[in-house]
Structure 1
Amino acid sequence: MSSKFKLFLLIPVVLFFTTYRALAQDSSTLIKGTIVEKTNGQPIAFATVMIGDRSTEKPISGTTSLDDGSFSVETKSTNFFISISFIGFKTKTYEQPEAVNGTIDLGVVVLEEDAAQLEEVVVEGERSQTEFKLDKRVFNVGKDLSSTGASALDVLNNVPSVNVNIEGQISLRGSQGVQVLINGKPSIIASEEGNTLGTITADMIDRVEVITNPSAKYDAEGTAGIINIVIKKEEREGLNGSVSVNTGAPENNSVGISINRRTEKLNLFSQIGVGFRDLPNDIETRNQDLINNTTILTIGEQFRNENYYNFVLGADYYLSPDDVITLSGNFALELEDQPSTTNFTALDENQDISSQWVRSEATEATNPKFQYELQYKKDFDGDEDHSLLFSALGNFFGKDQSSEFLDTTISGQDNDATQRTRTDFKEAVFTFKLDYTLPISEKWNLETGTQYVMNDVSNDFEVNDLVDGVFVNDPGLTNIFEFDQKVLGFYGTGAYEGKKWGIKGGLRLEQTDLNTLLATTDESNDQNYTNLFPSAHTSYKFSERISLQAGYSRRIYRPRLWDLNPFFNIRNNFNIRQGNPELMPEFTDSYEVTSIFLIGKTSMNLGVYHRYTTDVIERVSFFENNVNTVRPINIGTNRSTGIEFNTKYSPAKWLTFNGDFNYSRFTRNGLFEDTSFDFEADRWTAKLMAKLKLPADIDFEATGNYRSRYQTVQGEISELAFLDLGMRKKLFKGRAVLNLSVRDAFASRINENEILQEEFSIYSRRLRGTFVAFGFSYGFGKGEAMEFTGQRRRF
């Protein structure tokens, strides 16, 4: 075990026990009473009793009422008020009644129904809301039904400007190279290596921030922009929790329990969950040699079956009302089984069958994941806008995988063969971040900070062929690839925001040190570069209903591990993906102007944008002996200009429409190995969501998606259209929920890609099919009904 990994495991243990030192307790005041309804005198269970600080009006303690309406709670504060509330009832407030022998007895507390609040909860409480900030757009997830029980990838696919393809690749305004953050920080959960955004489900997401032109405060990584997934933070006092059970087809079953306990000083949170999911994938390819007129046809079915286990434990400790330390840890384990069967057919120059064979795969993998975070936040003088935030985040992801491939001849040429592969993958990522925000006045604001990210990866890959009954190592496909990247960044921003006009400018400096090594062959590639990344944003508010935003930023896309690793996947040895260790980063200058209109019951967002990218990374097919090898290459420049339109309209209280349209025109200029890649093309996407409120407290939602056909550097990507459906029934005043969701209802989300060159043509088709999910969830204490979230609290 390496010293780095030992350190990785030791740090959270030491920090965790340090956090839980016993502290002396001061004298306290006991507050008690019984809460009942005014109309019938019945007790109210699970009503909220909050103790708040009279000077700051912030919560300092609290509890919930029991089944008989009774409650008791203690506080050490000497200057407080008491607030008692429940959904659908008017809140009752007491200004610190006099204590008798250390006890405040409120007796019977009568709450009166609030008809206006009930209407607001039913009609407005579950709508997703959109907010526009100076440098970003914020989409509150709400209760989007087609996302109920779905993963974060499905939620993102319902966010305007964002698209997630069938392989889980995320694009923003049609461009990949998006940086995905969890709670504003990088995470293995959101990385391509982890590929585990599916462990985050809709119910645990508070909001999604789409930042198409990030300010200098954020990492310069991500040419298309940043998507920040903000996880819900449990702030409710007392004991909160939820239990959920879910099932689906293809098989997708899970059980989860989430518990949160908060006192005046300490907030403990934990979750445990287990599940199993089956992810089928139908593939079809056709590789045609146009010189010799020979063809390889491939039809297959691949599966990724996963058993997963997850445990989260953490605590917030409040040193004072303005100082909080958070320490959290997460352990997850995935056990993968990836069976696949691929049928191959070889056609000769007359397009007659010359041979047929079947390639079967048996793959097993064990994927452990660890994550811990230490965070300290201080609000100066009780002002959240004047703050200091330090965080240390550690991630480890491992994969111990073994595969066996068996080729069995059906007819014609003898293609019998057996191969074994072994993968030992380890990645450790450490992120240290310090941010300081200083409001100079109500209108002026300064931000500064630094970040240091260390990424250390080792991928040990081995291929063995069965020769005369003995497995023999293939040295041409066996090696250890080591990836070591360090990025140090500093930033400063200044902002002015008045009633009508605002402006924000900033500058970020990043220094990158990248080293890769093919250990067996001793081939290394070192890159060291320093870059400046300016940003500028402005906004003007013409009225309460019309606003205008404009922004500029410079971005970078650094090649990932799998972009650089030259060793490839041999699952289908006629269609291979391979990395390029000589790949360089690409840079983008991004400009945009966006307008926001509120007209009656309709909100609209209309924007235009332009991006200029250099050293564009394109995935290019190299064809030889009917084998298609796809490798990333830096090729020239790309200019993209587009228009984007989003709207939301509610013609009635029971009906809401959300629409999204994006069109872009792009120009590619590039030359590689005497081949020109110059061309012009366009693409567009559209999305329409309809939400209906039906009788019997049933909600229904339908979301239609469309993506046009568009041209690539070597071919075309076909159009696609698909429909997601959702339905929900609330029980027990919303404490329990039954939900049903259908994603890709007509199995029409088919990805087709065709490459047509002078010497070869390649056609590929992928289909995952329809997914149906059904779930029941129940919230106890002050918890809400929710789906099992895999990782509830921290990442």
Structure 2
Amino acid sequence: MHLKFTTTFLPLLLTLFLANMSQAQNGEIEITGTVVETGGQPVAFATVLIGDKATQKGITGTTTLDDGSFSLKTDAQDFFVEISFIGFEKKRFDNLVPANGKIDLKKITLAADAQQLSEVVVAGEVSRTQFKLDKRVFNVGKDISSTGASALEVLNNVPSVNVNIEGQISLRGSQGVQVLINGKPSILTGEGGNALGTITSDMIERVEVITNPSAKYDAEGTSGIINIVIKKEEREGFNGSISLNTGSPDNHSFGLSLNRRTERFNLFSQLGAGYRELPDDRENINRNLVSGTSIFSKGKEYRNEEFYNIILGTDYYINENNVLTLSGNFAYEIEDQPSQTNYESRDADNQLVSEWERTETTEATNPKYQYELQYKSDFKDHEDHDLLFSALGNFFGKDQSSDFEDLTISGEDQDAVQRTRTEFKEAEYTFKLDYTRPFNEEWTMETGGQYVMNDVSNDYEVDDLENEVYVSNPNLTNVFEYDQKVLAIYGTGAYESGKWGVKAGVRAEQTNLNTLLKNTNEKNEQKYTNLFPSAHTSYKFNDKVSIQAGYSRRVYRPDLWDLNPFFNIRNNFNIRQGNPDLQPEFTDSYEVTSIYIIGKASLNFSVYHRYTTEVIESINTLEGDVNISKPENIGTNKATGVEFNGKYSPVKWFTATTDINYNRFVRDGSLGSQVFDFNADRWSGKLMAKIKLPADIDFETTGNYQSSYETVQGNTSDNLFLDLGARKKILKGKGVVNFSVRDVFASRVNETETIQDTFSTYSRRQRGRFITFGFSYGFGKGEAMEYSGRRR
């Protein structure tokens, strides 16, 4: 933002001010010329300044046009002309002699300033948080420890956000987070397939964390919204970047970004391809405390993925006020999931009854694609007066087959062969209209609507091998259909003065949900209409101290995976099921945040409270020796917490960033005769240090800690792990070599335990250490040359 202001708005303001001070008089001199860079490409919006030699202060000025040309007049007698643009060396002309009242500087070539360009690039590499009235924006920059990582690893470095080993995202310790891409729902953020795996860190520009969204945003997500903004170049001319990554376990990827900006068109594209292995060590223990029997399982599962991701789009500038954008995204995954698990069955005396091995061979293909048509109109009366319409289509399919074989090693015969087949299809359409109308510099109104249609079909079949013939298992075979439509309208009003701002609004959403379990003809229909109010305010005491407060009401609607009665039998003694009778959960969220800038440190401190009804929790039951996990609505939850974020840069070569979150929660609820009332707390912390070493080497380390906490039926263990990385610039700063290690000490272990009167379960998962080497190279006009020529 600072660069755009400096290179675009400041020169224009200077021009208007100085031009009005200079009245046309006899003896005016007209100065003309054309500014180009090495290679002959014109430099648009370069600053042309006429200054007084005696005082060395500016007299008048202008900026170059799209073709690099400029023309301005002065009646000064003893002056100089200086031409500058960020990322280039300045050029100054003295002792100019006019001819017939004119000076033609002809073609002026600016050479790239390597040092200045490097400083700008470094500034863009630092992740930082910006506070706005109703959200926080975390600029990802180029965090070294995220080299070659997927979007999930990037999110784990974002303040307030945690991602567990299963890829579940939580915000301030609570799940129910809505993840958007470029402000809209996306197939890539769903639970099906690899979710965010095809988006790599190189493709992400910033992450917006919205803990208390205004009524303008979708009400989905009880904990808030995380919006991942994908990079889209808008620099004039031809620009691009290329990245290569390799690592152990196998993690190889290639990325290419290309952009071509002309007067009318901005063509942008991104290509990503790769292969990764995700090993997963698992251990489970199911104990039946009534019979005394137990099942032990231990093994390693793999999720090996070959993935491709292509983004292609164009902006068409109808005129300076209207832009039409058409874009498409195609992602394709080829999965191979081999696993081998050893089982032991023991009796009440802990004597071995049977031992067997279960092997799995799974293959799947996951095509995902989306397209979007967007139209934006900027009205001439105010830069923020605009109308935005978008139509978005998302499609996801999964074609998966699995073969399971149980082979007895000793004891009772456990030999068995099973196979499964999954055909999954999902289509989602989103139509959105937003209108923003500033009445003056202080008052602004926003209004709009959204319609989302989601249609899903999941055809799942399990066959058992009996007498050399596969026979369908009716208890595990089903076709589940899910259809949800959500219609929303909203309105907000905002007032912002020099120090104080307030924003309030309300959103109305009508939800129609229908599910059908075809093999039993079980139907579930839900229709409900809800209002979601929001209010935000901020007050700026001075440049160094400000305070914000916000309230919003949110909803979490159970999705397909929550509602589908069957999930999988990968481990047939630990099965996850859905619940078609689940109701949505609602949250009222309040928070107050204070922001301080003290010397070289920036600090913010938040206090928040969330009250949630119809809380959805996974409840475990033991049927025989099989552990079944099923979501249920369990009462209410009151969570009160504090969060601290800080950044300190005592010297240019060192920056420390910290994020600490603590909350205490009170659970009230019951299921049947079982009561789930209890109080507990949890906290998490992150500490990141960036150090600039000699030889243009940057080093970064990030420590993460997540405390143990009590759950409705047991507890989850704590977690402590460390990531580190190093980076060196080469090829005059345009090339970068990266090295990163995630989970350096292989200490990121996820352990959960359920303890009930009649049974107990234990689960342990570990992914292990990941090492990655990366190389990236940018070509074109350089990171410093942001193209900012037209109103967006």
* Residue in structure 2 matched with residue 710 of structure 1 by the alignment: 709
* Residue in structure 2 matched with residue 12 of structure 1 by the alignment: none
**Is contact 1:49-1:83 (8 Å) kept?**
no
Query: Residue 195 and residue 459 in structure 1: after superposition, are their counterparts in 2 closer, same or farther (change >3 A)?
Result: same
* Residue in structure 2 matched with residue 443 of structure 1 by the alignment: 442
**Is contact 1:343-1:358 (8 Å) kept?**
yes
**Is contact 1:188-1:194 (8 Å) kept?**
no
Deviations 1:14-60 (A, max 9, x none): xxxxxxxxxxxxxxxx997764xxxxxxxx56987225899xx9999
- Counterpart-to-counterpart distance in 2, 1:61 and 1:328: 29
- Which one-letter code corresponds to 2:89 in the other structure? F
- Counterpart-to-counterpart distance in 2, 1:565 and 1:187: 21
**Is contact 2:198-2:308 (8 Å) kept?**
no
TM alignment of 1:688-707, pairs within 5 A = 688-707=687-706
Deviations 1:278-330 (A, max 9, x none): 11111001101111111100101000111112332211111001111010112
Query: Residue 91 and residue 411 in structure 1: after superposition, are their counterparts in 2 closer, same or farther (change >3 A)?
Result: farther
1:114: how far off? 9.5
* Residue in structure 2 matched with residue 758 of structure 1 by the alignment: 757
Query: Residue 120 and residue 778 in structure 1: after superposition, are their counterparts in 2 closer, same or farther (change >3 A)?
Result: closer
* Residue in structure 1 matched with residue 539 of structure 2 by the alignment: 540
Instruction: Note if 1:50 corresponds to 2:67.
Output: no
1:139: how far off? 1.1
Give secondary structure in 1 for the equivalent of 2:380: helix
* Residue in structure 2 matched with residue 66 of structure 1 by the alignment: none
Instruction: Note if 1:500 corresponds to 2:494.
Output: no
- Counterpart-to-counterpart distance in 1, 2:383 and 2:620: 52
**Is contact 2:611-2:636 (8 Å) kept?**
yes
**Is contact 1:593-1:609 (8 Å) kept?**
yes
**Is contact 1:47-1:84 (8 Å) kept?**
no
Deviations 1:471-503 (A, max 9, x none): 001111111100000000000000001111111
* Residue in structure 2 matched with residue 453 of structure 1 by the alignment: 452
TM alignment of 1:330-369, pairs within 5 A = 330-369=329-368
Deviations 1:317-352 (A, max 9, x none): 110011110101122211110000011011111111
* Residue in structure 1 matched with residue 582 of structure 2 by the alignment: 583
- Counterpart-to-counterpart distance in 2, 1:499 and 1:637: 41
* Residue in structure 1 matched with residue 259 of structure 2 by the alignment: 260
TM alignment of 1:255-294, pairs within 5 A = 255-294=254-293
Instruction: Note if 1:89 corresponds to 2:89.
Output: yes
1:771: how far off? 0.8
**Is contact 2:426-2:457 (8 Å) kept?**
yes
Which structure would you say has the larger Rg?
Answer: 2
1:148: how far off? 2.3
- Which one-letter code corresponds to 2:148 in the other structure? G
TM alignment of 1:193-592, pairs within 5 A = 193-381=192-380, 383-592=382-591
- Which one-letter code corresponds to 1:507 in the other structure? V
* Residue in structure 1 matched with residue 634 of structure 2 by the alignment: 635
Structure 2 gaps of 5+ residues are 1-31, 49-60, 73-81, 99-103, 785-792
* Residue in structure 2 matched with residue 7 of structure 1 by the alignment: none
**Is contact 2:505-2:534 (8 Å) kept?**
yes
Number of equivalences: 725
Give secondary structure in 1 for the equivalent of 2:125: coil
1:199: how far off? 1.9
* Residue in structure 2 matched with residue 655 of structure 1 by the alignment: 654
- Counterpart-to-counterpart distance in 2, 1:527 and 1:616: 17
Give secondary structure in 1 for the equivalent of 2:578: coil
1:555: how far off? 0.5
* Residue in structure 2 matched with residue 684 of structure 1 by the alignment: 683
- Which one-letter code corresponds to 1:331 in the other structure? F
- Which one-letter code corresponds to 1:730 in the other structure? K
- Stretches of 4+ aligned residues off by more than 4 angstroms: 30-35, 44-48, 51-54, 57-62, 110-115, 117-120
**Is contact 1:731-1:737 (8 Å) kept?**
yes
Give secondary structure in 1 for the equivalent of 2:547: strand
Give secondary structure in 1 for the equivalent of 2:43: strand
**Is contact 2:232-2:268 (8 Å) kept?**
no
**Is contact 2:36-2:43 (8 Å) kept?**
no
1:233: how far off? 2.2
- Which one-letter code corresponds to 2:332 in the other structure? L
Give secondary structure in 1 for the equivalent of 2:475: helix
TM-score w.r.t. the length of structure 1 is 0.87
- Counterpart-to-counterpart distance in 1, 2:464 and 2:354: 21
- Counterpart-to-counterpart distance in 1, 2:772 and 2:520: 49
Query: Residue 47 and residue 727 in structure 1: after superposition, are their counterparts in 2 closer, same or farther (change >3 A)?
Result: farther
- Counterpart-to-counterpart distance in 2, 1:609 and 1:708: 19
**Is contact 1:126-1:142 (8 Å) kept?**
yes
- Counterpart-to-counterpart distance in 2, 1:396 and 1:321: 34
* Residue in structure 1 matched with residue 790 of structure 2 by the alignment: none
- Counterpart-to-counterpart distance in 2, 1:259 and 1:613: 45
**Is contact 1:46-1:782 (8 Å) kept?**
no
Higher normalized contact order (CA 8 Å, seq sep 6+, divided by chain length): 1
1:519: how far off? 1.3
Give secondary structure in 2 for the equivalent of 1:499: coil
**Is contact 2:193-2:398 (8 Å) kept?**
no
- Counterpart-to-counterpart distance in 2, 1:674 and 1:458: 35
- Counterpart-to-counterpart distance in 2, 1:58 and 1:631: 67
- Which one-letter code corresponds to 1:353 in the other structure? L
- Counterpart-to-counterpart distance in 2, 1:107 and 1:382: 36
- Counterpart-to-counterpart distance in 1, 2:427 and 2:669: 36
- Counterpart-to-counterpart distance in 1, 2:41 and 2:604: 39
**Is contact 2:686-2:703 (8 Å) kept?**
yes
- Counterpart-to-counterpart distance in 1, 2:653 and 2:664: 38
- Counterpart-to-counterpart distance in 1, 2:88 and 2:581: 63
- Counterpart-to-counterpart distance in 2, 1:452 and 1:742: 43
Deviations 1:232-270 (A, max 9, x none): 221101111122221111101122322111110011122
Query: Residue 732 and residue 758 in structure 1: after superposition, are their counterparts in 2 closer, same or farther (change >3 A)?
Result: same
- Which one-letter code corresponds to 2:572 in the other structure? N
* Residue in structure 2 matched with residue 107 of structure 1 by the alignment: 107
Query: Residue 625 and residue 53 in structure 1: after superposition, are their counterparts in 2 closer, same or farther (change >3 A)?
Result: same
Give secondary structure in 2 for the equivalent of 1:153: helix
- Counterpart-to-counterpart distance in 2, 1:743 and 1:730: 21
Instruction: Note if 1:730 corresponds to 2:729.
Output: yes
Query: Residue 31 and residue 433 in structure 1: after superposition, are their counterparts in 2 closer, same or farther (change >3 A)?
Result: farther
* Residue in structure 1 matched with residue 53 of structure 2 by the alignment: none
Q: CA RMSD in A?
A: 2.7
- Which one-letter code corresponds to 1:155 in the other structure? V
1:762: how far off? 0.5
**Is contact 1:245-1:777 (8 Å) kept?**
yes
Give secondary structure in 2 for the equivalent of 1:504: strand
Between 1:262-271 and 1:636-645, the stretch displaced more is: 262-271
TM-score w.r.t. the length of structure 2 is 0.88
- Counterpart-to-counterpart distance in 1, 2:201 and 2:236: 23
Between 1:215-224 and 1:122-131, the stretch displaced more is: 122-131
| Overall identity of the aligned pairs, in % | 65
- Which one-letter code corresponds to 2:636 in the other structure? T
1:198: how far off? 2.2
- Which one-letter code corresponds to 1:379 in the other structure? D
**Is contact 1:61-1:264 (8 Å) kept?**
no
Give secondary structure in 2 for the equivalent of 1:477: coil
**Is contact 1:123-1:653 (8 Å) kept?**
no
**Is contact 1:92-1:111 (8 Å) kept?**
no
* Residue in structure 1 matched with residue 138 of structure 2 by the alignment: 139
1:191: how far off? 1.7
**Is contact 2:33-2:71 (8 Å) kept?**
no
Structure 1 gaps of 5+ residues are 1-29, 36-43, 63-72, 99-103, 786-795
1:363: how far off? 0.4
- Which one-letter code corresponds to 2:760 in the other structure? S
Query: Residue 198 and residue 316 in structure 1: after superposition, are their counterparts in 2 closer, same or farther (change >3 A)?
Result: same
- Which one-letter code corresponds to 2:423 in the other structure? D
